[in-house]
Amino acid sequence: MEISNNQLLLKRPINVKAIVTPRWKEEAQQQLQAQINQIDSQLQQLEMQGQRMIAELKKQSLQPPGPEVLKQIENIQNQVNEQKSKLLDQKNQSLQQLQQIQTFELEQEVNQGQIESVFTVEKGDNLIKKMQVEILLRDGVVEEIRGDV
């Protein structure tokens, strides 16, 4: 891309939309289910790590554990619970998205996200028009480019 002295090279966000097809629905559901399974696995690991750390503390301390050890155990449990809460929030979001996908109509356009593009502007160009570009995909293939490229 050659640029003259009276042009500028700028970046713009481009909205990416997808047309809902049976294939798109299936792939989106599989992706979300994989995320949910991964979160479940992380929750199990977190629980086991927390129990191991607490067991190790109890093993190394006097019986019954003193106030300092009890405080450490409480801190570990608080950290585990805080992390668990974050993971459960992520899982709930994924479950909601999974539910939402099932309500989409075939041929409906849905937002997939954004990508960046580089473009040139020069005197007399309508910048607002040049910023409003979007790509429409059908099963991953560009079906339409909308806007002033």
Burial (CB count within 10 angstroms: exposed 0-12, middle 13-18, buried 19+), residue 7: middle
Taking alpha carbons only, the member of 35, 16, 9 closest to residue 97 is 35
User: Is 101 in contact with 32 (CB distance < 8 Å)?
Assistant: yes
How many whole angstroms separate alpha carbon 85 and alpha carbon 42?
Answer: 12
**The predicted structure's pLDDT at residue 69:** 83
Taking alpha carbons only, the member of 16, 28, 17, 19 closest to residue 139 is 19
Structure tokens that stand for 68 in this block: 């300092």
How many whole angstroms separate alpha carbon 139 and alpha carbon 28?
Answer: 11
User: Is 129 in contact with 10 (CB distance < 8 Å)?
Assistant: no
**The predicted structure's pLDDT at residue 89:** 97
The residues of the chain scoring below 50 in pLDDT are none
**The predicted structure's pLDDT at residue 137:** 97
CA distances from 88 to 51, 54, 94 (A): 19, 22, 10
**The predicted structure's pLDDT at residue 92:** 97
Taking alpha carbons only, the member of 103, 113, 112 closest to residue 139 is 112
CA angle 134, 31, 105 (to 5 degrees): 55
